[in-house]
Structure formats: C-alpha cells, structure tokens
Amino acid sequence: MERNPLFFMLRKHFFMMIFLFFLIPATPTLALEDHHNVLPKLLEGERILKERSFVKNETPTVYLTFDDGPSKLTPQVLDILKTENVKATFFVLGQLAESKKDLVKRINDEGHSIGNHTYSHKYNKLYTSFSTYWQEIQKTEDILEEIIGYSPSIVRTPGGTYKNWDPFYFFYMDQADYLIYDWNIDSGDSKRVGVPSNEIIQNVKKAKLNNKLILLMHDGNGHEYTVKALPEIIHYFKGKGYQFSILTEKVEPIVHPNIATRWERENEFEKRSMFVRTAREIEFVKNTEKITRIQQKNFDDLLSAENTRLLVSAETTWEKVKPKSIKYQISMLIDKITQVVFSFPMLFNYNE
C-alpha cells in the first residue's frame, strides 16, 4: 500500500499534540446564580457566604491572636512564645508592616500565622465606604506579599465586624476568598489605656471555655501590660489541657452576630466588579505542611447555583478559566484534531 502523506504529517505532530493536550487543561464549567437574586437578600440583611469545609478540632484548642502590630513590643511577644513553644496569629497593619519588615519576616520565619488588619485602622475611612476598605486590604496584601512572599487570606477587621460590617462587606470579602475572624474571648487589653496585667489575666480566666477559643490581644504600642500578662495566660490554658495553634483558612471562622451596622454608607453593589483580587499564588506554611491554592478572580463567576459555591478546582488559575483565553482555544483545537485522527483508522494502515 502506498504511504499516505497525510499520515506522516499527522504522525510527526501527533505526540506533540498529545503533550500539549495534557499540558493545557480543559476549561472547567462554572455554575452561576443571577446577581439580581442576591441583591434583595443582602438588602434584607442576609449574609450570603460560600460553602466551605474546615478541619474540626479534635482536642480543646486556643488560638492566641495579636492585633495592631508590629511594634517595639512584638519582639518581646515573640520571645515569650518561643520560650513557651507556642504558636500564635498576628493580624498586622499594612503601614506598620511596611516600616518594620524585619519583624514581619521574623513572625513568619518562627512559624506563626500572619493576617491582614487593613492598612490604616481608621474606622471613619474603612466603614463609610467599602471601596476604601477594599483598597486598604489590597495595599496591605501587596506589602505582605513583598515581605514574606505570599498573601494571607485571613483577615480581622479593626474593632471586629460587630456593628461595623453589613452583609455587603461579608459578601464582597467572601467572594474574593477572604476569611474573616472575630473572637470569642476578649482579653480586654484595649478597653482603655493602660489596662493592668492582673485585669487582663482575670478577663481571660473568667471567660467561658469551650473546645475552640480565639483570644483577642494586642501587640501594638501601649500594650506593655499585655506582654506582662502573656506568660500567665499561656500557663493557664496549658493547665486546662488546651493545645495552641495558628489560624489558617482551614480553621472555621468565628464571627460576631449579624447586627445592623452603625455606619452610613452608599450601596456599592454596582461596583462589585472592582472587588477582585489580582491573580497570585497564595501559600500557607503550617509546620511542615505547605498548602498552595490559586485565588479565583472573576467576580461575575463567583456566584454559583449551589449556595454560591464556586465549582472550580482550587488549583485552577483565572487564566485557565477565561472562556476566550488562547490556551482554551488551543486546547479545543487539539481536541478536534485528535478526534479527526482517530475517526480515520485507515490513515494508520500503512507499510514501512
């Protein structure tokens, strides 16, 4: 039989096509929910959040958290934690992280968790406009990525969500895959200036204990008494049989009750397309476990029919889910060519 020129052409490029086909994954399908169904719910005060899975605490666990740093007190806190062999979570301010990069690096290098606490901490800016709030979160995220090489997705808002946030804040942040952490024990170290150590300790000891505790403390300037109280607080929880751990996206958030906000602000739902994160790889290091995920960035694809759950693999980049991306077009073209090849078996009937 004569050799078919078309066969040799296809055979020459066949393996390259197969390689590219598996190299370029097919575009996943996104399930969407009409945004018009979401807006009325938000206006009625309903929180709309994605379904997520979290790791359950098998043993009583306390999460020590420190807000408003880093400051000159942060090294003392880190020294105590190192001595006690305890890990904690630091929600840092962007403007302080920017000027104290070495401290941020030390927090990260010593195995503690780092969260976003906005850039300025100024309530009148943060809670009168979500656009401003979003800009501060992004600015701090960029600063942290430059310092430690990744962008944390855990956030604590200044003053907590209680009476500061509304369902829109929760919705926008949740759709961008930020996790918000309030607390269920308040050390009371920021109720006024100079709260003494013994009062801070008593506030902690009189709090109701349960299997999962997130303790609010501060390592910003003016909280010297918190540093003094810290060793006894750690010993107290050790004596109660608690383990210490850090907050990551695997830990289910504790958030305050859904109460009407005290702030007046405009409805920015029409601006929602602005509230998307820059595509970047987010890395979390917990002990020897490295968790890598890619943030989904297109806000319009973040609403799904199943309780607004995004039906896309966590390892799929936004570039891979663009319906009209070049990779997608190449993938589809190779798929069609491959189908043509296998639909003509006579092409492979040849004699060398």
- Between the alpha carbon of residue 97 and those of residues 68, 77, 94, 120, 222, the distances in Å are 10, 16, 5, 11, 17
Burial 180-194 (b: 16+ CB within 10 A, else e): bbbbbbbbbbbeeee
**For residues 220-234, b (16+ Cβ closer than 10 Å) or e, as one string?**
beebebbbbbbeebb
Q: Is 201 exposed, middle or buried (0-12, 13-18, 19+ CB in 10 A)?
A: buried
Which residues, other chains included, contact 328 with Cβ-Cβ below 8 Å and sequence gap of 6+?
27, 320, 322
> Among 218, 219, 223, 301, which one carries the catalytic annotation?
218
Please state whether 21 falls in left (phi above 0), alpha (psi between -120 and 50) or beta: alpha
What is the H or E stretch that residue 68 is in?
Answer: strand 61-69
Burial class from Cβ neighbours inside 10 Å (0-12, 13-18, 19+) for residue 119 reads: buried
Residue 165 CA to residue 181 CA, distance in Å, equals 13
Q: Are the beta carbons of 205 and 236 closer than 8 angstroms?
A: yes
Is 256 assigned a catalytic role?
no
What is the Cα–Cα distance from 41 to 59, expressed in whole angstroms? 37
Phi/psi at 284 (nearest 5 deg)?
-125, 130
Between CA 81 and CA 302 the distance in angstroms is: 39
Question: How many CA atoms does the CB half-sphere of 222 hold within 13 Å?
Answer: 9
Structure token pair of residue 28: 């996943």
**Is 67 a residue of the active site?**
yes
- Would you please indicate which residues are annotated as catalytic (active-site) residues? 67, 218
